[in-house]
Chain A
Amino acid sequence: MKKMNNKIFLLIIIAFVLGCQKPGPVELIDDKDDSKLIDIKSTGSVSDTLYAVSVGDTSGNFGAQNSRYYAKLIYQNIRFDRLLRKDSLINAEAIFFDKDNAIKYHNRIITFPSFDVGVLKINDDALNKFPRRMMLPMQGDTLIGYRYQLRKNYELTATNRWTSTGGGSIDAFDISISSPPTIRVLNLPPRFINVSEPLNIKWDCANPIINIFISGEGGDLLNRKLVPVMHLQIRNKKGEVTVPVKILELIPIKRFSRFVFSFVSETSRTVRISGYPEDVLVHSSSVHSIFLSVRP
């Protein structure tokens, strides 16, 4: 009897030691949460001041976002909402960097020189050709190339056509790109938002991807600067998104008092241009930028 009991005991212990698995967790699914529609992309350190977003390019498209391209043809259809003021304009910019002759200082790339592509036109409007000058050690004030920019009144175009006469080694080109669906944010007046509450944003736009760029407004009154802090890519499934608190909390409200939320609907592609060794980004976007104060 005693031996029998011991055997039983042993069996029990074995059975229970084998049974030492923990029950698995229950995975909770939230149908109402839009988080899954959101990708957060790091803005990185935006090649520093070189490509800092200008007031004109609130989306940062010209700088950070597409910094891996050395040549860009950017067409932006921009609408600004500020408190008591609404603006809209077309901004077109272009640059062709000379990747192989980077300007270095102490072995660190400061910038690249850029090519002259002759007369560059967008929809038959010539872009202004601005020389780029720089104080270089040993050489003093030096012309390091040109950049192109044009601001003009807001207009809606179905297709945008870039043409160039060519210059230097780069041949003439003629490139067209269709415009993306226009975006208009419907429910975000340019006042303030709270990071402690999920932010619901509705828009009128059919583009399946909506990018939201959030930039802090820095600098002084005369020299305003926008610093990109966050890039959210939204899968536009229902014309709206609720940004969870967890994301809003990332907004560095201690560093900046005001932010620009830029909602971007874009189309872009890359092309090769005879005489230029790299891919050229051709980008067309509809941008709705809203200036907001952000409260904790």
Chain B
Amino acid sequence: MILFPNILFTQYLSSSRGVGVGAFTALSSDVSSIDWNPGGLTNIREWELNFSNFKSTSIAKSGFTFQSFGIGKKFFEKHAAAIRYSPGSNLEFIVPAAFSVYDTAGNIIITKFDKRISFKQNYSVGYAYNIIDELSFGFSARLFDSKVSDTKYFIDTNNVIQSQVSDHSASSWAIDFGTQYKINDEWYFGLVFKNLFKINEEEFTEAMRNYQLNLTKSVCLGVAYSFSDKIITSFDIDTKNKLRLGTELSAFDLFKIRGGFYTTDFPKFSPEAASIGFSINYHPVQLSLSYLRFFEQTNRRGFSNIDILNKSGYADIDYTPFTTDRLSLSVSVNLGRTKDVLARIEFVEMLSEVFPASYQTYAFRPIGKARVRNVSSKPIEAKVSFFVDDFMNAPTETKPFRINPNETVEVPFLAVFNSAINAVKKFSIYDGTVYVHAEPAADYDDRYQTRVLVRGKNDWNGDVMLLRYFITPNDPDIIKFSRKVLDKEKSENDNGLLLKYKHATILFNGLSKHVQYINDPKQSADFVQYPAETISLRGGDCDDLTVCYAALLGSVGISSALVDVIPPDDPKNSHIYLMFDTEIEAPDANLISENSKRFVIRKNEKGIETVWLPVETTVLSKGFTEAWNTGASNYFQDVIINNGIGTGWVRVVDLPTSF
């Protein structure tokens, strides 16, 4: 006799919502996922308590049965585990004593049953892991206990027949494996392998082997489609040809109604059962009630032909040919942090690498931007924070940005680095974290790990705006050098109106004698020496010399500006030179030159137009005059003739001085 061959049932009654929808494999999201799809456990938020309860409606005298109590916990963001006690997961059969036994006096000897067979699934555990936000895997282990109480008869020494009950038990763990995948806001998938492995704890003796619970392997696929945030439809199909369809409708914010249709013998769609249910959310409690009704009531009224049992195999013991119509009630309580996620970071773009030389700029110029989506149904105010460990003392936070439901906003964020970043010698990669906070949340709603590229202190990205941070007029070495050069030419350096012009000339010629122009072996945009380094190394490329000369000018209070030329038809051939303020006012420009091509007239901060001289440091060795001529020529061509400033490919960036 083979008990329990292959009829299989992959419906579970531990979740009222699951009963209501019928097809729950792709949608399971609470502790009941242990049954449905362990992959769904990752949807637990913080702590969850789950109770469920049912009442058979087809058996007159039945009261409420305590189905299960479970606890789930999410931890370390991506992990979730749950444990459940389900005293209501019981399947018990009684084989009545068929023959009557009389004693010698002709009185019947009472025997309660011939056999009592009970299956219990009272303890289960589950674990799941979110590989990415959309994809999770999980497994569950459910302990099945089987017990057979068998009435045995024997003839005693007085030839009187006596009965005695002997118990046999067996238990085993069934391991399920499940996954859930959310393709987008519309499509959800779930796949479960039921009873993939079995671990026997205790086995029946040979005589009772026939009563072993036959937990057959099966696969169930669930697909759900969300038409809008109000309506979601799903179906489950399993390898035992059961197909279930269900729909859930959010009538109001906190109220949902749902219905399911259960069929068997796929693809014949023979109707098996129908369900209807609703749930009410009262933060943090969700109460669900559903009603399950079978079309065929044979075997579901508390008695059944023994053949049905003999032909049944089980994925579980909840949903069987003997399951009665029922009203099921479940309650979920979310404890701990139960806040809804309002905002999500979809994408983070780092706008810049970090150049330690100019680390202060990131406090004012966005280092990156985050695309934040409002995933809630109401407008939110979101703030983005950014943090790099070690190099920042505290995360920065942006002002709040208002985002309408389901819209995105790109939020630029800043970084306030500390001076530790100057210790970075080489091009390195560090972890940075971007958070988003949305009102009225106190915690972050989402976060996004990003890479922060921190350059070596001499690295430069080719942006002239950043080059100015290499110019250090207050560096003692620079002040020392400029003082030394000026002191040497003391006799000539005391001209009144032309004082700045003279100083600039002397410093240029002094620098010319001290350092050499060297072509940068690497791309000149990669590496910039600090002025003191150029002085001590006695050489540098175009950028180094320009930076160094600007620092020397700055150290004696001469304002200067960088002229950054990126020819639009030849952007690789970009070039930088410098101009400085002689502080000679425009009407005195003839003191400098009668040829207006040789100077630039700019307004200073007081609104006075003064004469600025362009200087090209690449011709350092030829002395100041030649450098000026070349600079002026370049400026005339780039700016006056070719309109570079007007069209934007020539930029003038003012530099700091020490005064």
Contact = CB atoms under 8 A, between A and B. Distances in A.
Contacts of B306: 28-30, 33
B618 interface: no
Nearest to B52: A16
Nearest to A38: B99
Interface in A224-268: 228-230, 244, 246-247, 249-250, 252
Contacts of A44: 104, 158-160
Contact of B90 (A22, A39, A246): A22
Interface in A60-82: none
B94 A25 contact: yes
Contacts of B103: 42
Interface string A94-133: 0000000000000000000000000000000000000000
Interface in B111-165: 114, 116, 118, 152-155, 158-161
B95 interface: yes
A250 B54 CA distance: 44
Contacts of B97: 35
A21 B99 contact: no
Contacts of B409: none
A19 B65 contact: yes
A15 interface: yes
A229 B159 CA distance: 7
Contacts of A29: 96, 303-306
B304 A16 contact: no
Nearest to B322: A26
Contacts of A25: 92-94, 116, 118, 302
A15 B331 CA distance: 10
A23 B306 CA distance: 19
A252 to B, nearest CB: 7
A42 B159 contact: yes
B94 A12 contact: no
Interface string B456-486: 0000000000000000000000000000000
Contacts of A220: none
A26 B104 contact: no
B645 interface: no
State the majority secondary structure of interface residues on A: mixed
A141 interface: no
B3 to A, nearest CB: 12
A27 interface: yes
B266 interface: no
B64 interface: yes
Contacts of A40: 99-102, 153, 161
A76 to B, nearest CB: 23
Nearest to B282: A8
Interface in B295-319: 299, 302-307, 309
A26 B303 contact: yes
B387 to A, nearest CB: 33
B275 interface: no
Interface residues of B, number: 56
A18 B64 contact: yes
A31 B90 contact: no
Nearest to B284: A5
Contacts, number: 151
B329 interface: yes
Interface-centre pick from B69, B104, B106, B284 (highest chain A CB count, 10 A): B104
B93 A229 contact: no
Contact of B51 (A12, A22, A43): A12
Given A18-B64, A26-B302, A36-B99, A250 B53 contact: no
B56 interface: yes
Contacts of B333: 9, 12
B102 A41 contact: yes
A28 B102 contact: no
Contacts of A15: 53, 64, 329, 331
Interface-centre pick from A20, A23, A34 (highest chain B CB count, 10 A): A23
Nearest to B151: A246
A30 B155 contact: no
A45 interface: yes
A168 interface: no
Contacts of B573: none
A188 B160 CA distance: 27
A137 interface: no
B66 interface: yes
Contacts of B54: 19
A21 B304 contact: no
Contacts of B285: 5, 8, 12
Given A23-B56, A42-B104, A42-B159, A30 B98 contact: yes
A230 B104 CA distance: 11
A45 B102 CA distance: 14
A140 interface: no
A46 interface: yes
Contacts of B322: 26
Given A25-B93, A28-B94, A44-B159, A39 B99 contact: yes
B304 A229 contact: no
B178 interface: no
Nearest to B92: A25
B598 to A, nearest CB: 79
B614 interface: no
A16 B65 CA distance: 8
A247 B90 CA distance: 31
B62 A24 contact: yes
B153 A16 contact: no
Contacts of B307: 30
B90 A23 contact: yes
Contacts of A22: 65, 87-88, 90
Nearest to B53: A19
A23 B62 contact: yes
Contact of B304 (A5, A26, A37): A26
A45 B307 CA distance: 40
B114 A246 contact: yes
B591 interface: no
Given A26-B304, A39-B101, A42-B161, 19 more contacts: A5-B285, A16-B51, A19-B55, A21-B62, A21-B63, A25-B302, A26-B302, A26-B322, A27-B96, A27-B303, A28-B93, A35-B114, A36-B98, A44-B104, A45-B158, A229-B155, A229-B159, A244-B99, A247-B153
For the complex of A and B, the 6 pairs showing the least CB-CB separation, nearest first, are: A35-B98, A19-B64, A44-B104, A25-B92, A27-B303, A38-B99
Interface of B: 51, 53-56, 59, 62-66, 69, 87-88, 90-104, 106, 114, 116, 118, 152-155, 158-161, 282, 284-285, 299, 302-307, 309, 322, 329, 331, 333
Interface of A: 5, 8-9, 12, 15-31, 33-46, 228-230, 244, 246-247, 249-250, 252
22 contacts: A9-B333, A12-B51, A15-B329, A16-B66, A17-B66, A19-B53, A19-B64, A22-B87, A22-B88, A23-B88, A23-B92, A24-B62, A26-B302, A28-B305, A28-B309, A29-B96, A35-B99, A36-B98, A42-B101, A42-B160, A244-B98, A250-B154
